[in-house]
Amino acid sequence: MKTNEGGLDRALRVVVGLGLLALVFVGPKTPWGYAGLVPLLTGLVGYCPLYALLRINTCGRAG
């Protein structure tokens, strides 16, 4: 797997993922918050399968 997410993209994914995941523990306490695992994990890993499928690369380099 080659990295296909840039730094800003990764940071935003981690923040959004943590925000959604927080919904499981605080606020409405909804299980839909577990959907935050997807952006969190892709942000931490730096690889998005959907980006690969659509040939999107936000790295700024051929990575």
Residue pair 37/21 in contact (Cβ under 8 Å)? The answer is: yes
**pTM higher than the cut 0.85:** yes
- Per-residue pLDDT of 19-63, as tens digits, reads 999 999 998 899 999 999 999 999 999 999 999 999 999 998 654
Burial of 4 (0-12, 13-18, 19+ CB in 10 A): buried
Residue pair 12/43 in contact (Cβ under 8 Å)? The answer is: yes
